[in-house]
Chain A
Amino acid sequence: MGTQALAEGSGISAGWFGRRGAEAWLLLGPCLFYLATFAIFPLVYSLRLSFTDLTAAVGTGRWVGLKNYSDLLADPQFWNATKNSLIMVASAVTIQVVLGVALAMFFDLQLRGSSIVRGILALPMLITPIVVGVMWRALLNPDWGLINWAIARVGFEPPNWLGSVEMAMKTLVLVDVWQWTPFVVIIVYARLQALPHDVFEAAQIDGAGRISTFRHITLPLLMPAILFAGIFRAVDEFRSFDLIYGLTYGGPARTTTTLSFFSFQNGFQFHNYGYAAAVAYVMLLILVAGTTILLRYVQLRPGHTQ
């Protein structure tokens, strides 16, 4: 039986060439063409750039093969940036997921006014990290910032949040946690509301305590949402750039220079386009490898995550 017969059977053509097939092509075409031109082509262009020594000064850039990549592997600053990226992703995602699930459970108590607080907590996500950076640089200012004043007021020595090499990465993660934990809360809370209530009632009738209900029933049911939120956060942390630009500018002493920021510095400040492109491609490789492994465990498709 050919596709034609199948198509007639289902009433819709499965091929590219029937009337319906042509329609599929017309509906999809502009989007695919657009993405091919302004997303895929730049990516290919970037790969090509990474094999050249193009700088802003030199017009075309000579082909240098894998030189940028071998330079990269020998560059201690590249390894420093890789280390910082991994620290940032691991710590920020862990804190946000744990805190986010805890807060989602807390909001599930349905206290009066909690929907207002959830609305307030959604605000930080919407604003540009540049302004988040300014906000927190003010709050954490060593001379007049509100937070240091409050810490000193209760009798502790306020840390040098942004100025010391020990604290800067922690501060960056802290601010990121402020901005993005609500994302995890919203995803997990929405899933929590969609869970069938009879499961919990049955558990309570069976005499399960709160903690064991959470561990053995709630948590497994929430897992798809937690993984979804965790993966989105991990990818966003990894490519995060604006907050670093706005808060620490990679410093002090490069302790907050992640791969994104390292690539930016090479490209925008030092005009080493080839080298910057190589850094970006290493990032892409890490991203592709990371998400491929993660997606073995979770399926990401809108509307069909379960």
Chain B
Amino acid sequence: MKRHIGRVFAYVILIALGIVGVAPFVYLAILSAKRRIEILAQVPPKMVFESATIARTYREVLHSQGMLEFTANSVLVVGLATLVALVIGTPAAYAFSRLPFRGKEGLGGWILSLRFMPPIAVAIPLFLMMKSIGLGDTYLGLILPYVSFSLPLIVWIMVGFFDEVPREIDDAALVDGCSHFGVLWRVMLPIVRPGLATSALFASIFIWNEFLVALYVIDSRDLQTITLGAATLVSAQRPIDWNIAAAVGVVTVIPMLIFSLLVQRYIVRGLTVGAVK
């Protein structure tokens, strides 16, 4: 009997945890479906929705406020920066995992420590650099810094994945006269595909969410990324229309949530690389 009660209690906690995790998202979605006046008057919000209200709010957010355009900008910036970072970072991770060379430990520690760098420490110099080479207020001016922010992350994750591949596999290929490039390209890349997906996922999330550097580099409204656009629309400094703010939040979050659900199994792998073996 005592055991039974304990079990019921444990399930109550489990359900409560689930609610704590998901309720803020649901609340935001509900607010975005209400009229401004309803948010102020209905506490708690009634579960009655009008499709006309929802359509009006989201049309306003997507078109008049430009969130659709910001989303497209972000997809472009995230895609390009992630791709470039993978192309540059994967061979480096392979070298760290497999090749003996002088200064390896120091160099590795140096790259990984960049992962701890506060973006605030480089935002101003990056902004001044981009401006001086004529890339202020351009996509390229964002993509270049984003690649360098993602590189330590990608190297970190990929070294973990390369380390898991048994050495015998590449040794066999090396004995057969394959170069390290050949081994990496033909033998290793197919094996570490989950690693590529994991690092692409984490780099994408990071870049999608980044907004400090974007705040400095981007001036034009029509070049804003989604997080920068959202931040300027719902800034804590000024009074806002809550239905609009909530819809902006929903629009910002949904692409990442869908993306993460599609590749959910990689999330835990990516977070635990280096923590557990």
Interface residues of A (CB under 8 A from B): 10-12, 14-16, 20-21, 23-24, 26-28, 30-32, 34-35, 37-39, 41-43, 45-46, 49, 103, 106, 109, 111, 113-114, 116-117, 119-124, 126-139, 143-144, 146, 149, 178, 182-183, 186-187, 190-191, 194, 224-225, 228-229, 235, 238-239, 241-242, 245-249, 260, 263-264, 267-268, 273, 276-277, 280-281, 283-284, 287, 291, 300-306
Cross-chain contact B124 with A287 (CB below 8 angstroms): no
Q: Known contacts A16-B101, A194-B276; is A241 also within 8 Å of B212 by CB?
A: yes
Interface residue count for B (Cβ, 8 Å)? 102
Name the one of B18, B109, B121, B242 contacting A46, with C-beta atoms under 8 angstroms: B121
Return chain A residues, CB-CB under 8 Å to B40: 143-144
Please report the C-alpha to C-alpha distance between residue A117 and residue B184 in the assembled complex, in whole angstroms. 38
Interface residues of B (CB under 8 A from A): 10-11, 13-14, 17-18, 20-22, 24-25, 27-28, 31, 39-40, 43-44, 88-89, 91-92, 94-96, 99-102, 107-109, 111-114, 116-126, 128-129, 144-145, 147-148, 151-152, 155-157, 159-160, 163-164, 174-175, 179-181, 184, 205, 208-209, 211-212, 215-216, 227, 230-231, 234-237, 242, 245-246, 248-249, 252-253, 256-257, 260, 264, 267-268, 271-277
For A267, give the chain B residue with the smallest CB separation.
B124
Q: Known contacts A30-B91, A190-B276; is A38 also within 8 Å of B144 by CB?
A: yes
Cross-chain contact B102 with A15 (CB below 8 angstroms): yes
Query: What's the least CB distance linking B261 to chain A, in Å?
Result: 9
Return chain B residues, CB-CB under 8 Å to A283: 118, 120-121
Can you name 11 extra interface pairs (CB under 8 A) apart from A249-B236, A284-B117?
A14-B102, A23-B179, A35-B148, A103-B17, A121-B17, A121-B21, A138-B31, A144-B39, A273-B124, A276-B124, A303-B164
For B118, give the chain A residue with the smallest CB separation.
A239
Return chain B residues, CB-CB under 8 Å to A26: 91, 181
Cross-chain contact B120 with A241 (CB below 8 angstroms): yes
Cross-chain contact B174 with A263 (CB below 8 angstroms): no
Query: What's the least CB distance linking B9 to chain A, in Å?
Result: 11
Return chain A residues, CB-CB under 8 Å to B231: 130, 245-246
Cross-chain contact A149 with B43 (CB below 8 angstroms): yes
Q: Known contacts A43-B122, A267-B123, A300-B112; is A14 also within 8 Å of B230 by CB?
A: no
Name the one of B123, B236, B257 contacting A137, with C-beta atoms under 8 angstroms: B236
Please report the C-alpha to C-alpha distance between residue A306 and residue B163 in the assembled complex, in whole angstroms. 14
Please report the C-alpha to C-alpha distance between residue A117 and residue B10 in the assembled complex, in whole angstroms. 13
Q: Majority SS of interface residues in chain B?
A: helix
Cross-chain contact A268 with B216 (CB below 8 angstroms): yes
Can you pick out 26 interface pairs between chain A and chain B where the beta carbons lie within 8 Å of each other?
A: A11-B174, A27-B91, A28-B92, A31-B151, A31-B155, A39-B117, A39-B148, A45-B125, A113-B14, A120-B21, A126-B267, A128-B227, A128-B230, A128-B256, A130-B230, A130-B234, A135-B24, A135-B25, A137-B236, A138-B246, A187-B275, A245-B231, A280-B120, A291-B116, A303-B160, A303-B163
